[in-house]
């Protein structure tokens, strides 16, 4: 079993642990997150759970922890298992480089450290929701980026992720028969052409995604899906819009590629 232990949310321990575990394909681990371990009692409870797992399973527990309080770290380190803690590994070295002592207070990397950053993420999320799917706002003047693509090519989740993770203002506009028949982009998009970024996807995958939505008509037919994607790509090329094929990419990867390709600056950082 794998434990993620933190005096805060556990997001850092989870993210780090996952990156490392994906290097060992095919092994399937039961995973438990124990967040907000911020008292000695809670730390001792966590130790009991880890030790029970050590008894119940042949593989020793693997413990990813991000604990800043030295006392809590000492308690957890007594649990039976392999302990990997980036604070243990890196904090002293980083402090030496910076010529500063770590605060040893729960760092709240994912906390309300900064109300301004919180508000930026919330406002960006509201912006994404209001400007979703060519929605009512069309407040493209303040958008950092406007994603264009056919229905179900990944625009909405990518915009939400850009907003929540990075505070980036991302709108999206769906390409439909209107654009395909005229071969033109609407004036409202052409006014912000430099902000446009296209998403495309392989036809088979799009068909599958559309069918998941229990849509069995023309919308998810092989012919329609191929037609839309071909026409969308023509529009991207005609207008010199950069685009990415999302078929093989997760939301995080699409978002990273957009930021990398457009040079849009993150307004906040995770």
- Please pick, from the candidates 67, 68, 175, 229, the single residue that binds a copy of itself as defined by CB under 8 A: 68
CB of 129 to a copy of itself, least distance (A): 7
In the sheet with 170-174, reading across from the earlier edge strand, the strands are: 170-174, 145-149, 196-200, 243-245
Of the pair 220, 235, the CB lying nearest a copy of itself is at: 220
Q: Is 20 in the site for a copy of itself (CB under 8 A)?
A: yes
Of the pair 14, 144, the CB lying nearest a copy of itself is at: 14
**How many chain residues are in contact with a copy of itself, going by CB under 8 A?**
78
Q: Is 93 in the site for a copy of itself (CB under 8 A)?
A: yes
**DSSP assignment letter at 60:** P
Of the pair 215, 227, the CB lying nearest a copy of itself is at: 215
Torsion from C-alpha of 224, 226, 227, 228, nearest 10 degrees: 90
Q: Which residue has the tokens 């509201």?
A: 126
- Please pick, from the candidates 112, 136, 141, 187, the single residue that binds a copy of itself as defined by CB under 8 A: 112
Determine whether 205 is exposed, middle or buried from the number of CB atoms within 10 Å of its CB (0-12, 13-18, 19+).
middle
Category of 6 on φ-ψ map: left (φ > 0), alpha (ψ -120 to 50) or beta: beta
SS3 content of the chain, % helix, strand, coil (to 5): 50, 15, 35
Q: Which of residues 214-243 bind a copy of itself (CB under 8 A)?
A: none
Of the pair 37, 185, the CB lying nearest a copy of itself is at: 37
Residue 226 near residue 232, CB atoms below 8 Å:
no
Here the tokens at position 36 are 């907000």
- Please pick, from the candidates 89, 130, 142, 222, the single residue that binds a copy of itself as defined by CB under 8 A: 89
Residues 146-165 vs a copy of itself: string with x where CB under 8 A?
--------x-xx--xx--x-
Q: Is 28 in the site for a copy of itself (CB under 8 A)?
A: no
Which of the ranges 120-128, 137-145, 182-190, 236-244 carries the binding residues for a copy of itself, by CB under 8 A?
A: 120-128
Residue 21 near residue 3, CB atoms below 8 Å:
no
Q: Is 54 in the site for a copy of itself (CB under 8 A)?
A: no
């Amino acid at each position: 079993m794998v434990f993620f232990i933190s005096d805060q949310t556990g997001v850092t321990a989870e993210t780090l642990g996952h990156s490392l575990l994906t290097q060992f394909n095919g092994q399937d681990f039961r995973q438990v997150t124990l967040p907000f371990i911020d008292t000695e009692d809670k730390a001792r409870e966590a130790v009991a759970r880890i030790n029970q797992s050590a008894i119940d399973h042949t593989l020793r527990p693997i413990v990813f922890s991000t604990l800043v309080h030295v006392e809590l770290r000492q308690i957890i380190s007594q649990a039976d298992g392999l302990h990997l803690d980036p604070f243990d590994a890196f904090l002293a070295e980083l402090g030496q480089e910076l010529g500063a002592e770590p605060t040893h207070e729960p760092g709240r990397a994912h906390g309300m450290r900064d109300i301004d950053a919180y508000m930026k993420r919330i406002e960006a999320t509201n912006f994404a929701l209001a400007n979703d799917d060519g929605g009512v706002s069309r407040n493209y003047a303040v958008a950092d980026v406007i994603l264009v693509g056919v229905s179900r090519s990944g625009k909405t989740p990518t915009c939400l992720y850009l907003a929540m993770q990075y505070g980036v203002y991302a709108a999206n506009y769906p390409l439909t028969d209107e654009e395909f028949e005229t071969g033109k982009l609407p004036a409202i998009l052409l006014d912000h052409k430099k902000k446009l970024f296209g998403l495309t996807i392989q036809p088979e995958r799009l068909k599958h995604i559309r069918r998941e939505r229990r849509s069995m008509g023309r919308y998810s037919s092989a012919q329609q899906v191929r037609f839309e994607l071909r026409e969308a790509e023509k529009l991207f090329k005609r207008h010199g819009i950069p685009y990415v094929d999302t078929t093989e990419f997760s939301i995080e990867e699409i978002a990273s590629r957009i930021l990398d390709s457009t040079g849009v600056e993150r307004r906040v950082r995770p």
